[in-house]
Amino acid sequence: MNTKYHQVRLLEKNLNFFNIVAAIGGFGNHIRWLVLLDPLYQFVMIPECNHKQKYIDLMGPDWPSYEQYMKSDWSGISSDIKIEVTNLMEDDCIVFDTLEKKINFIQTNIYHESRTWNNWLWYEWQYRIACNKIISLIHNTELEDYDKNIKTLTLTIDPQLAYHCYVKFNNNLNNRPPSDFMRTVRKNNIAAINEAKTNTNIKIFDANIVYQPVLDRVFYKNLVDYLGISDLYFEANEIHQLWYSAQKRSEKEFVRDITALYK
C-alpha cells in the first residue's frame, strides 16, 4: 500500500480528544495505535486526493452536503442513501469502526513481516497526518505548540534508549549528531516534567518499560485509567508483541544490510 491518508471522517461525534507528547524515538506512535483500539475511536481514513470533488461528481439528489457527510450527519437521510454514499465514497478508504477491523488493519498494514528499518518511517507517514486529527502526537515539547487545556499524555524516555531505537530508522538523526539528539531528548524530558508540575492536564509516563516483548500490565492499566478508555489488554498486548518483533527484526536486518554493504 503506497497511498497517504490525510483526511478523517468521524463516525462518532464525542471522541475523547487528547495529546500524546513524546521525544523522537519515544514510542509515541506505538502508544497511539494501542489507544486507537478503544471502541470510542470510530473513524474513516480518507486517502490523499480531492475527496470533496469526488463527492460532488458522484453526488445524488438526496445525498447530504459534503460538510454533513464529513461530520457523519445523516439527519433526514434514509438508510439506503447512507449505504449508497458510504459504498461509493469509501471503497478506497480505511474504516475503523470495530475492534476486529482495527486489529486486522494494524496486523496487515502497520506491524507486518515486511516492516523493517528502511521502510519504517515510510509506513508511519502513510497514516500519521490522519491519526493526528484523532489523537495529536507532538514530538518536541519545547518547539511545538499544542492544546495544553486538554489531557496530555507525556512519555519520557532514556536518551540512550531513544537513540538505540531510532538510529536504525533514520541514521542521520534528522541532521544532528548523536550527542545532540540525546541532549534534545534529555531536555524534552526535563521540560515535560517541569510543565507537569504546574499543569494538571499533563501526566508523565515512563516509556522505558515499553521496550520489551510483553506489554507491561501496570503501564497499560495506568494508561487506560488516565485516559478513561476501555481496558483491552489482551488485544493491546497482541499488537504490542507485533511491534516489538518488528523493532527487533529491523535491528537485525539493519546490521545485516549495512555490514553487507560495507564489508
Q: Is residue 14's pLDDT more than 80?
A: no
Residue 147 confidence (pLDDT): 81
In the chain, where are the structural domains located? Answer: 5-42+97-262
* Cβ atoms of 62 and 81 closer than 8 Å: yes
In whole angstroms, give the CA distance from residue 252 to residue 83. Answer: 47
Q: How far is CA 213 from CA 37, 107, 111, 206, 253, in A?
A: 19, 16, 14, 16, 18
Which position has the grid cell 486517502?
47
* Cβ atoms of 240 and 215 closer than 8 Å: yes
Give the max Cα distance, the chain.
68
Mean pLDDT value of segment 15-36? 93
- Comparing 47-51, 70-74, 232-236, the range with the smallest average pLDDT is 47-51
Residue 99 confidence (pLDDT): 97
In whole angstroms, give the CA distance from residue 238 to residue 251. Answer: 20
Residue 12 confidence (pLDDT): 78
pLDDT tens-digit readout, 113-152: 999 999 999 999 999 999 999 999 998 755 566 788 889 9
pLDDT tens-digit readout, 66-108: 999 999 999 999 999 999 999 999 988 999 999 999 999 999 9
5-42+97-262 has which fold?
A: Rossmann fold (3.40.50)
Q: How far is CA 46 from CA 90, 133, 262, in A?
A: 8, 12, 41
pTM: 0.93
